[in-house]
Structure 1
Amino acid sequence: MISSHTKKQIYAGIIASSTCLLITCVLTLTSPTNIKAGVLTSPSIWPAMCRHFSLSVDASLEQETQRQIRWHRRHPGAMKDMTENAQLYLAYVFQQTREKSLPAEIALVPFVESNYDPFARSAKGAAGLWQIMPDMASAHGLEINDLKDDRRNVIKATHTALNHLLYLKRRLHGRWDYAIAAYNAGEGRVRQAIRASNKSGGKVPWTKFLPAETRRYLPKIFALKAIIQHPKRYAINLPNIDVDTYFSNSPIHRTYAFSQISDICKIDSDLLHKLNAEWRGHIFTEDNKTIILPISQSFSCKKKLSRIPMFSNRWARHKTKSTDTIKSLGTLYNTNPSTIAGINSLGNTKLCHRRVLMIPKNSQGIPPLSKDASLAAAIAATDLLGPTKISHIVQKKDTVHTISKQHDVKVGHIAYWNRLRYPYTLTTGRTLVIWKNVKANVRYTKYVVQPGDTLSQIAKQHKTSVNRIMQVSNLKDPRKIRPYQVITIPK
């Protein structure tokens, strides 16, 4: 027997497919595969996504979905702002949903999570396009350290998020609406909502028992879907985004500086940082093994990089010896020692033996990461928000249960963070990752800028002044704040 919910999803899929065929015909005349200036452009992504929309709106969410659509109609420019970041990443995310046979609505989740900004952070500690929390990153093998944050890497983060969504769907009765809600609120909260609805005999929808934020989460996604399906009905122009993936993942065998690759390959440095957003500084190391490049320049760039010598007129690639110090390297390359330390993210004057350093020759200062001050701050952000990471070295008599009591965390969480399998056998000397919530500094609080926010509105909301926020957040221009930027608010 097919459940009534499954039937609804099948009917919704048929209707969506039929609607999308009409939209495809209309959009094909205007945006995809046109010849502009003698160049054949790629088809638009919107008809392709529309063909693979398959989820139906729960009746209990219809009213909120319509409210979100009305908001977009009052702010028709919002779609343009939302898709500005997505130009680089949406096609890749959509392609990944197709490879895993997922509904195309999943590709809309990063719009709601981060505005498709790989540098987005939340006050709770989430980061990247998919707003992955540190504990989830540990569970999926993503690195977070002073040099890089893999949650900001579009390829690794997308792989992690899609696998987690599939896991949630399997755990929650095979329903995508449950899984997407759980991605926002957590599996436990959704289970509680389902149980509460069942206790009412189904008279009260499960969505009524969700947190307020999650009750708006699914409608935001369904509102975007409706606008993509019927842009003319809602008088909203959809910016053109190519259906073809913008970038490719290319192998590298050396450590490079971003500005070095920018000079050699003639690729904008800001673009390189946005494509390789996991790196917090001026360089990325050969340990990463790959670099993300615009697909149109990938082949020529790899060829150029393979030809450059270890030393060039502007850069030296130096593998440290036991006798090296930052001061001696500064003398050798006529470069300020603080510049060497800053570019290579060296916290002190001690150098690890045989570490590869990128050293700009004849340089007396650290160049900015970007001419855009807000982007530079986002790239370099190291003030990790949210839970604090604790490393626990397993002792001889330790068990998962004794460690959970010691740190006041659940056994299941320790197993999840460290990918332990039951019966949770531990090896003496192994380092376990523990994530704990620590009380925030009472003098300050962190605030994540929302689309449409102004600094004066934020100041009024927190009963402080614009000047005080600018001072503690190190802001130079009150007009230059961007959505999902994290700022400090004095209490």
Structure 2
Amino acid sequence: MPVKLTNPIGYPSALKRQQALSIVSLQPRLLCFDFYTITVSHLAPFTLLAVRSELRLTEPKLHCNHMKHISLWLFALIFAGCSTTQPVTLAPIVDSETVQELEVLDQWQADQTAKTEYENIWERVIASYKLDTELDNDRITAQLNWYRSHPSYIDRVADRGVRYLYFIAEQIEAREVPGELALLPVVESAFDPFAYSHGRASGVWQFIPSTGRDFGLQQDWWHDGRRDIRAATEAALSYLDALQQQFDGDWLLALASYNSGAGTVRKAIRKNREKGLPTDFWSLDLPRETQAYVPKLIALAKLIKYPERYGLTLTPIEDKPYFAVVNTGGQIDLSQVAELADTDLDEVYKLNPGFNRWATRPTGPHEVLIPVEKQELFEQRLTELPSSERVRWQRYQVKNGDSLNTIARHYSTTPDALQQANELRSNTIFAGQQLLIPSAFKSQDTYSHSLSQRMERIKNLRKPKNSNQRIEYNVQSGDSFWEIARNHDVTVSQLASWNGLAPKDPLRVGQKLVIWSAQKASSKREVIRKINYRVRNGDSLAGISQKFKVSMADLKRWNSNEVRKKYIQPGQKLTLYVDVTR
């Protein structure tokens, strides 16, 4: 079972009991303790050591009676290896649930300790390689040929990855995992921080919602930890490290599991064992996507290592930090962040892709990533900007029929944010009450990488070639992708794709969906509403179709279970999809 990490904004900070697998940057990796927990907060070259009480010795012949000798050995090793380390605390564990906090990300800044200098980040990544990149395999060759024939693709992903590679390389070195993992976001998402798959996977590491939550990546209206570069990188490396330990150090099986799930890989191994066949990655009967997934990474690692061999020129990326972490002390409009840092708003979003809206989360933590060369300027200007001017506030007088939900939706915020801003103890409000509402400094289309603006672009860009008519459909109570798709004669996958969604995404009442029809274009957009109609005395299918300006064929298709007989009966309920602009 994978490591479970939790933290308010999704920055992993702890290991769950009985799920813990070693995240230890110490070699040889044969130590685990029953009675003691050791925490080294800053230790070169080890960087971080957190050992859980539940873990056991990985060398079965080494018995815990040697604890005292091991402890003395460990102290000797640590103080001989680094004269600048901070004190190491050794304390008995009283509560078996006690877990030491991992603070690698919570207050991360680029490691300034002495280290090997590289001309560029590619050399640094290559220096950490641990997989066999010299494998001669047809699947690897096929992927290499594809990369060679698409040099612009490599340039494009390098241009995106320049923001994140230094941080990822640091985390990989801290964990002593294969350097090839730094290239995995290329395979997963082409280093697109806003990538979203048909399977609901999001971010450069492509976490699905459930796995993201298992690894402490919080997902809410304001922020999606799966797209947060720091949190998602830490979670992905924890997940991959846990998987390789499940498969006895086999990184190829761990990578296959990251793609298709550990259960799928174990099932394939079991089948091969029953048949007396080898159980290495190359011998397993895995899904087609997974069979290509691992070769893609190995081919890419090979190409990065030997670009001249394959006729490619890599875009050089300096081996230096790209961003710094700044605590703003409270919620702040992202357009304000851009102005204070003298940086494009698009760049702010690309460094902070976890933010779904126009501002940081009201409840914090209040951290933003800033281009490292702008850190001093940003911090200076931030101290000069009063907290009250970091978010714009509007006064609103509650009207009859208002609720926190409707007000929040209208002003692009959340009920929780309104409660906090107005110190409300509950969701109850009354007519005449004055509310303070946080709102964006600029128009919504200015925040081009906010979730709502990205979704709107997708709706406009994914028009099929053979479709002329755009229909806007408002989701009604009880609607599903399947029902809406069926009633508009399209497929579920088409409907989801046109709207930048996955088929399993939940729909909410009032949500607007775009449906593209192959019918002749009309002079105006249709606005479709779902109507539940109760048959009255004297009604007929023909009369109802004329009344609501729908075809008989559609009426029968929408109500195939209700109109099996020749005549309809008073009291029957029929479903209609009506263009309210007619």
- The TM-score range, normalised by the shorter chain, is 0.5 to 0.7
State the alpha-carbon separation in 2 of the partners of residues 278 and 349 from structure 1: 18
Of residues 316, 325, 343 in structure 2, which corresponds to 1:249? 325
Q: Does the 8 Å contact 1:342/1:366 carry over to 2?
A: no
Of residues 254, 257, 274 in structure 1, which corresponds to 2:350? 274
Of residues 344, 354, 357 in structure 1, which corresponds to 2:423? 354
Q: Does 1:108 align with 2:183?
A: yes
How far is the alpha carbon of 1:378 from its aligned partner? 5.7
Q: Taking CA–CA contacts closer than 8 Å with sequence separation of 6 or more, which of the two structures ends up with the larger relative contact order?
A: 1
State the alpha-carbon separation in 1 of the partners of residues 338 and 456 from structure 2: 16
Which residue is equivalent to 2:396?
325
State the alpha-carbon separation in 1 of the partners of residues 386 and 319 from structure 2: 37
Of residues 274, 280, 290 in structure 1, which corresponds to 2:367? 290
Please identify the structure whose Cα radius of gyration is greater: 2
Which residue is equivalent to 2:446?
368
Distance 1:201 1:278, change over 3 A: same
| Per-residue deviation, residues 454-476 of structure 1 (Å, max 9, x unmatched) | xxxxxxxxx986999xx99xxxx
Alignment of 1:63-212 (within 5 A): 63-202=138-277, 206-207=281-282, 208-212=284-288
Paired AA for residue 229 in structure 1: K
Q: TM-score, normalised by structure 2?
A: 0.53
Identify, as 1 or 2, the structure richer in helix: 1
Alignment of 1:304-343 (within 5 A): 304-311=381-388, 317-318=392-393, 325=396
State the alpha-carbon separation in 1 of the partners of residues 224 and 129 from structure 2: 32
Partner of 1:182: helix, strand, or coil? helix
| Per-residue deviation, residues 133-179 of structure 1 (Å, max 9, x unmatched) | 11112212221112111111000001111101111111112211111
How far is the alpha carbon of 1:58 from its aligned partner? 9.4
Paired AA for residue 413 in structure 2: S
How far is the alpha carbon of 1:100 from its aligned partner? 0.5
Which residue is equivalent to 2:307?
231
Which residue is equivalent to 2:130?
54
Which residue is equivalent to 1:391?
none
State the alpha-carbon separation in 2 of the partners of residues 448 and 224 from structure 1: 31
Query: How much identity, in percent, do the aligned residues show?
Result: 24
Alignment of 1:448-487 (within 5 A): none
94-103 or 277-286: which moved more? 277-286
Distance 1:303 1:85, change over 3 A: same
Q: Does the 8 Å contact 1:153/1:278 carry over to 2?
A: yes
| Per-residue deviation, residues 76-130 of structure 1 (Å, max 9, x unmatched) | 2221122221111112111110111011011111111111111111111111111
Partner of 1:248: helix, strand, or coil? strand
Partner of 2:370: helix, strand, or coil? strand
Q: Does the 8 Å contact 1:189/1:210 carry over to 2?
A: yes
Partner of 1:77: helix, strand, or coil? helix
Partner of 1:292: helix, strand, or coil? strand
How far is the alpha carbon of 1:342 from its aligned partner? 5.9
Distance 1:244 1:380, change over 3 A: farther
Which residue is equivalent to 1:409?
none
Paired AA for residue 192 in structure 1: K
Paired AA for residue 325 in structure 1: Y
Q: CA RMSD in A?
A: 3.8
Structure 2: stretches of 5+ with no match in the other structure? 1-116, 400-405, 425-435, 460-479, 486-491, 500-515, 527-582
Q: Does 1:345 align with 2:423?
A: no
Partner of 1:122: helix, strand, or coil? coil
Q: Does the 8 Å contact 1:148/1:279 carry over to 2?
A: yes
Distance 1:283 1:349, change over 3 A: closer
Distance 1:43 1:440, change over 3 A: farther
Of residues 25, 41, 44 in structure 1, which corresponds to 2:120? 44
How far is the alpha carbon of 1:225 from its aligned partner? 0.7
Q: How many residues align?
A: 344
Paired AA for residue 333 in structure 2: A
How far is the alpha carbon of 1:359 from its aligned partner? 4.0
How far is the alpha carbon of 1:196 from its aligned partner? 2.2
